[in-house]
Amino acid sequence: MTPLLITNARLLDPASGLDAPGALLVRDGRIASLTGAPAEGAQVLDAGGAVLCPGLVDMRAAIGEPGAEHRETIASAAAAAAAGGITTLAMLPDTDPALDDPALVEFVIRRGEATASLTICPYAAATKGCAGKELSEYGLLREAGAVAFTDGRRAIGSARTMRLSLSYARVFGAMVVQHPEEPSLAGLGAATEGELATRLGLPGIPAAAEAIMVARDIALARLTGGHVHFAHVSTGAALDLIRAAKAEGLRVTCDTAPPYFDLNETAIGDFRSYAKLSPPLRREADRLAVVAALADGTIDAIASDHQPRDADDKRLPFAQAEAGGAGLATLLGVTLARVHAGDLSLRDALALLTCRPAALLGLEAGRLAEGAPADLCLFAPERAWQVKAGALPGKAQNSPFDGRALEGRVIATFKAGRRVFG
């Protein structure tokens, strides 16, 4: 492979604190130098002053394959990820069939490798079939390459099952990722319980359903010594509990997703099904609480929470429409909105998208360092664009940000030193 020298870039590596103008040399798929040393025969790319950071690490995304390839395939998700600057993705296991067998975990890893643009790090099903009853074979799944255990967008509702899951996952050095929503309270709800849901005649989900599950699982983490990670946290009450658990020294972490710090429940408008998500969009006070938790470090990562749906899933009455939003191509742009608003520094925002999720998953990704994989994202933080459903890369077009104007666009994405976007 011809060496690549990227010059005139703003090198930004949250892991080391590097933030300076410079050049980066790639040789044989890895970062050879951060000093801009010339290399004979190298291809030279002038970055024009744009930011060069590690490729983004998305720690929570669903993909239709296997079982729902009409919604999205691994190849189409890889195209969308590359357009969003994502080079590593942790895939949820609640596919059809669920990733509860080592052969399926290995299959997904190989399918990711075949794209040559995206490393897929699969979660394994915490319970067989993601049904919440019988535990999967954690040791074999971990050996096959599973990065952690979860039932995806289904909460592990049984306290006994969650206790066993935390205990067994601890033996294999892995965390359990929980969808924090008490199932009996969530039921068939479609929006956050309150005045808006009542006015629209929609069945409500009390915001307390999230805090109740978080409180229970913090108690189980204390009991077992296991590591529980709460996905897409969306309420101030849950974040207060997580903040206190961290102060106590418990092995408790969490992530959130762009809809929960950029949108509130009014985005559902007059039954706008693209904005039907799980958990549902919250009140403005909760959105502000999520922003504050990003700033104070309570939230460990920002994940796309990508959930592909097709037109037939969404063109239904709001209460019957499937929940979920496409998020790969918009992950960086919506996160940068918090930077432009002054809520986060650019370095802290990128840490939430690179080195911090990589550390949670135990991955080599997410840093600019000599010898590290040359997985890179080059973006212009001020470049304006508009999200348009129907024109997004990949199959999934069900974006809750449809019509949203953003600042910050990916110029190029590199996987192992090879340009895969831009």
Residue 359 corresponds to which amino acid?
A: A
Whether the Cβ atoms of residue 14 and residue 354 lie closer than 8 Å to each other: yes
Residue 2 corresponds to which amino acid?
A: T
Pairing of strands 86-91, 119-122: parallel
Catalytic residue among 58, 100, 286, 305: 305
Which tokens hold the place of 118? 């995206």
CA distance 319 to 197: 11
Hey, which residues does 233 pair with through a beta bridge?
A: none
Which tokens hold the place of 398? 């069900």
Q: What burial class does residue 140 get, using C-beta atoms within 10 Å of its C-beta: 0-12 exposed, 13-18 middle, 19+ buried?
A: middle
305 is catalytic: yes
Provide the total of helices (H) and of strands (E) in the chain, helices listed first: 14, 19
CA distance 253 to 33: 34
Q: What are phi and psi of 223, to 5 degrees?
A: -70, -40
Other Cβ atoms within 10 Å of 103 Cβ, number: 9
| 3-class DSSP assignment, residue 336 | helix
Q: What burial class does residue 337 get, using C-beta atoms within 10 Å of its C-beta: 0-12 exposed, 13-18 middle, 19+ buried?
A: buried
Taking each helix axis as running N to C, give the angle between helix 208-224 and helix 159-171, from 0 to 180 degrees, rounded to the nearest 10.
50
- Active-site positions read 305
